[in-house]
Amino acid sequence: MYELLKDNHEKVMMELAADASHSIECVSPYVKKEVTTKLLSRKKTTTSISLITNPSLRNLLSDSLDSEALTSWLAASGHVYGHASLHAKIYLFDRQMGIITSANLTNGGLRNNLEYGILFDNTQLVQQVSNELDCLYQDSLTDKLTRNKVNELVRLQQVLKQAFHQNEIKEHAATYTSLTEETITKQLKG
């Protein structure tokens, strides 16, 4: 079975999470706490969970990745991995059903944005994706994130966030002050 997902990512994912008996594996560079909480509240207590994400400082500082979401995964006895160049979005349920999609594990990705994906249960494809995930877990760019590592990321995020936003404002201050209504109107016409 193959099914195109367009505007029903959240509904399908939450149903699959609730039905999973053994494992839920999520691969998403952007992860938000609200979606994490919803997903984790639907999983069975015996279902193992793992997340591979991209915990770059840029993702944390821009709030594309919630450090609280990572903490939630760990608090639920989940395994969390970081991969330095991750952009993929893959979701596997019991290694029997899978979704390959453009949708991140965020409200935008699952609910608000126009995203496309494929839901599948084809045994051969599920096995190929499972093998790829196993390779990803072992990849030299993949690091298992412990509570201590996540706490360090949170600390760095707090220290750098203010400086990041101040530099961003300073960098663009000339642009902000020189924009007139006429300039904005001209730019919007393009």
Give the phi and the psi of residue 136 in degrees, each rounded to 5.
-65, -40
- Per-residue pLDDT tens digits for 38-48: 999 999 999 99
Phi-psi region at 154: left, alpha or beta (left = phi > 0; alpha = psi -120 to 50): alpha
Look up residue 57 and give its two tokens: 């400082």
CA dihedral in degrees (55, 78, 39, 122; nearest 10)?
90
pTM confidence score: 0.83
Integer Cα distance of 2 and 125 in angstroms: 10
Residue 153 token pair: 């990321």
pLDDT tens for each residue of 17-40:
999 999 999 999 999 999 999 999
Mean pLDDT, the chain, rounded, equals 87
Q: What is the pLDDT of residue 178?
A: 42
Instruction: Give the residues of the chain that fall short of pLDDT 70.
Output: 164-190
Distance of CA 26 to the CA centre of its chain: 8
